[in-house]
Structure 1
Amino acid sequence: MKNRRSFLKKVAAGTFAAGFFPFSKQASAGEVKLTGALIHHVFFWLKEPANQSHKKKLIDALNDLLKVETIKMSHIGIPAGTESRDVVDHSYSVSYMVMFDNQAGQDKYQVHPLHLKFVEENSYLWKKVVVYDSIDQ
């Protein structure tokens, strides 16, 4: 918990000082280390990738899913304009990354009524989902 508090203080200071968290001059990557966290990163490929209303529906539903109390940090995004790099996969439609304090938080999330409702009501939108979960080494 101490590491999380320290991290959140640095994030708050960096966000205030720089206006944008990832590029804060207040805290370097070496200073902000996540320990004990579980990162859950989900990539969605829509059945109709050009259908903007489907993309909006999915993103709105993901934002609603962030109400699960065990989620500590989140990011919802779309492919960045980094096509010049061959190693980057831009084929997905939407990404969803959440952080939990630990495995127990992620386990609660998986069976949470909001998560179950999300899958039930929105799975018709995607043709493929890939999940990457990671913890400290």
Structure 2
Amino acid sequence: MKNRRSFIRKIATGITLASLFPLTKKADAGEVKLQGALVHHVFFWLKEPENEQHKQQLLEGLNQLIKVKTIKLSHIGFPASTEDRDVVDHSYSVSYMAMFDNQADQDAYQVDPIHLKFVEQNQHLWNKVIVYDSMD
């Protein structure tokens, strides 16, 4: 029964995600609205930003972290080479965004063994972390 529910949930998630990205035309911003979702955006400043081994370790850890089952969408990125303006911060090393269906899923993520292991194994790499959580 549990496998059937898991399968149905995965199919429903796939259908939902597919509807976010139409294949026949570009979706307008007004057509893609995230209702009830919690967006968890984390910015990491590495202690040694030029150390490629440390950056690679953090990336490997983040790629493990996105395996937490309550995460619906994720993104791992680096500062874009966009225009320097007072409102743009390019100072971070790595960004990580995870989207959850709701607050309960994000709460479960916080205590998930994968998340706890990520923090334990990688916290020595960064000197600053800022988290922005938002939802409608």
TM-score by length of 1: 0.84
Q: Which amino acid counterpart does residue 13 of structure 1 have in structure 2?
A: P
Say if 2:21 and 2:27, in contact at 8 Å, map to a contact too: no
Any residues of structure 2 matched to 1:1-137 within 5 Å, and which? Answer: 7-14=16-23, 17=24, 25-136=25-136
Aligned residue pairs total 125
**Unmatched 5+ stretches in structure 1:** 18-24
> Cα offset for 1:11?
3.0
**Unmatched 5+ stretches in structure 2:** 1-8
State the Cα RMSD in Å: 1.8
- Give CA-to-partner distance per residue, 1:52-72, whole Å, 9 cap, x none: 111111011001001100000
TM-score by length of 2: 0.85
Q: Which amino acid counterpart does residue 64 of structure 2 have in structure 1?
A: D
Stretches of 4+ moved more than 4 A in 1?
4-7
